[in-house]
Structure 1
Amino acid sequence: MFETLSIGKTALLLCISSESEEEVIRETSILNGCKVLKGRVGSMDSAKIFAAIETAAKKEGLIKDLYREEHSLYHTVLEAYSGVCRGQVGLGDILRTAGLTFSVVRGPRFPGDDTDGEWIAVALYGNIGAPIKGYEHEVMGFGINPI
């Protein structure tokens, strides 16, 4: 189904996939030399969203406890988060909350091409809005950076 997926497409598809689709994407990604993870986070606090993604990435072995790897992940999450918040990075202070699914993918940008080193991609998908049921709408954000 998915013979070749860049890490960007992998992150985006994984983030919005159903469980059956997720398994195919994971298998394809591993064959292409990538590490992947998918998780969920919800909060009115931006810091909690960043921390959840970083913690999951460390726990699953996608990044090491090295400054350059943490720094790359941070900027990748910030880029994706900026898309979710439409450039206005903030939640709780302006009475917004988010419920998000996230995916993190690490590997070569394109399958079979490791001449460019390793990259990391983050996709966020979910809902954002006032902390009142029914006052939210769908959002998606994406970021990619070299490690």
Structure 2
Amino acid sequence: MTQVVRIGKIATLLAMLDDNEQSPFESLFSEVTFCRGKVGSMNMQKVISAVETAVKRQQLIDEDVYRETHALYHAILEALEGVTRGQLAIGEMMRTVGLRFAVVRGKPYKDKKEGEWIAVAFYGTIGAPVKGLEHEATGLGINHI
């Protein structure tokens, strides 16, 4: 019987852990493909673009297949809703973000007919664009491919 792969848990861990903290969790990462990155901005589109660019550069999705790009986009938006507390705006509300992100692709169900899914996780800070006035935030989005 195949083990359930928790792609959301893996994405969240990858987003939160520094490179030197990752080694105790390596066995969790063996059944998925993933990429990581960082982005800081007051512009929501720049955050979305940073994730899309990293995913495409790492060939985590096939950008010629619409459903893969579409799944990624919706997972990003869902994760950003967590970071922004349901108000998908940053610069317009005089907020800035400094985020690490991880995108994980895998098969989270025992029944392989359920197919592949994608998880996007953000971890970092959000707050007024004044150094030291930010607070931690995290968000997770998962979508089927």
Is the shorter-chain TM-score for this pair beyond 0.5, marking a shared fold? yes
**Number of the residue aligned with 1:84:** 83
Q: How does 1:54-65 map to 2 (within 5 A)?
A: 54-65=52-63
Q: Deviations over 1:41-76 (max 9, x none)?
A: 000000000000001001001111121111100000
Identity of aligned residues (%): 49
2:16 is aligned to 16
Q: TM-score, normalised by structure 1?
A: 0.89
Please tell me the residue identity of whatever aligns with 1:12. T
Separation (CA, whole Å) in 2 of partners of 1:25 and 1:145: 23
**What is the CA deviation profile of residues 81-133 of structure 1, one whole-angstrom value per residue up to 9, with x for unaligned ones?**
001000000011111100000000001014x6523100000110000011101
- Equivalent residue, structure 1, for 2:141: 143
Alpha-carbon distance in structure 2 between the residues aligned to 1:26 and 1:101: 19
Mapped partners of 1:103, 1:37: distance in 2: 6
- Where do 1:96-111 residues align within 5 Å? 96-110=95-109
2:49 aligns with 51
Distance between the aligned counterparts of 1:53 and 1:23, measured in 2? Answer: 23
Query: For 2:34 and 2:10, how far apart are their aligned partners in 1?
Result: 9
Distance 2:4 2:70 in 1: 28
Match of 1:133 in 2: 131
Q: Is the 8 A contact 1:15 1:123 kept in 2?
A: yes
1:125–1:90 CA distance, 2 compared to 1 (3 A): same
SS in 1 for 2:121: strand
Structure 1 residue runs of 5 or longer lacking an equivalent are none
**Preserved CA contact (<8 Å) 1:106 1:121:** yes
Task: State the match for 2:73 in structure 1.
Answer: 74
RMSD over aligned CA atoms reads: 1.7
Residue ranges of structure 2 left out of the alignment (5+ in a row) = none
Aligned residues between the structures: 142
